[in-house]
Amino acid sequence: MTAPETLYRPHTPRAGRPRHLWAWALAASQLAVVWLWWRYGWQAGLPAMVLSHAYFMGQVFLPRSRLYAPVVRTRPGSGAAVWLTIDDGPSDDTPAMLDLLDAHDAKATFFLVGERAARQPALVHEILRRGHDLGNHSDSHPQAWFWALGPKAMAREIGQAQRTLAGIAGTPPRWYRSVVGMTNPFVAGPLHAHGLQRVAWTARGFDGVDCEPVQTVARIARDLAPGAIVLLHEGAAHGHNPAILRGVLAELETRGLRAVLPEPVAG
């Protein structure tokens, strides 16, 4: 589903750190490798090359890394509040999770997959009707190869999801989460073009894969504190996502924490 032009316009890009700073750092590191190889031979040059390549590759898989794109790493705002984020919807779990959030007077940002949203627009409207927020979580959620997408494929994944969600909601999302948190050098361009802010997390229980609810909630609870960004999922095959959300909401109440949508982030 593509948004009508009257509904969707990319946001005006915000000023910030240079988007290609990583490229200068990579070039500088390789010049250092060349110098070490020339000065001390392969015994120094080869390990330096391997380590430098491992560093730049490893940053792709670190959800909180800022090397390739800016990222929100704690909940914007103050007070005894956390940010609940729910990935991979909409799904058959969405209505139950919305009911749980209502019962606890909690708000969340739903990071939606464009293709899934296009198939179930009524669920997207229901998320918004109940006072929650939307985020961009790619168009097709290619989790096995998202890390390796080139510039055109990455722009398509982010841009098409943005157009789909804007067409359903009437306004474009402002938040984005990379698939499995993986962020390669080609993510920053589409985020800049669409005015999106990338969001990481500080508390997770690995509820997107086969898990046991009590243990999963306990893993999340270890990192619950004011300013936490909680990563949750919906629609996983194990069927426990609503139960896990229920446990997290109960844990928040026990600790005197509220699940509140974040304040705007300055550009």
Residue 28 has pLDDT above 70, yes or no: yes
- Which of the two residues, 21 and 148, has the higher pLDDT score? 148
Residue 2 has pLDDT above 50, yes or no: no
Q: What is the mean pLDDT of residues 240-266?
A: 93
Residue 69 has pLDDT above 70, yes or no: yes
First to last CA, the chain: 29
Residue 261, pLDDT score = 97
Residue 1, pLDDT score = 38
Q: What is the mean pLDDT of residues 194-222?
A: 97
Residue 18, pLDDT score = 53
pLDDT tens for residues 111-152? 999 999 999 999 999 999 999 999 999 999 998 999 999 999
- Which of the two residues, 63 and 5, has the higher pLDDT score? 63
Q: What is the mean pLDDT of residues 78-103?
A: 97
Q: Average the pLDDT over each of 10-14, 111-115, 208-212, 222-226 and give the range with the smallest value.
A: 10-14
Q: Across the chain, what does the average pLDDT equal?
A: 90
Whole-angstrom Cα distance, residue 242 to residue 93? 7
Domain ranges in the chain are 21-61, 81-259
Q: Which of 5-14, 226-235, 256-265 has the highest mean pLDDT?
A: 226-235
Q: Average the pLDDT over each of 29-33, 105-109, 245-249 and give the range with the smallest value.
A: 29-33
Is the pTM higher than 0.75? The answer reads yes
Give the closest residue to 204 by CA, choosing from 95, 61, 83, 27: 83
Whole-angstrom Cα distance, residue 60 to residue 165? 26
Residue 30, pLDDT score = 77
The amino acid present at 46, given as its one-letter code, is L
Residue 65 has pLDDT above 70, yes or no: yes
pLDDT band at 4 (very low <50, low <70, confident <90, very high): very low
Say whether domain 81-259 belongs to CATH 3.40.50.720: no
Residue 75 has pLDDT above 90, yes or no: yes
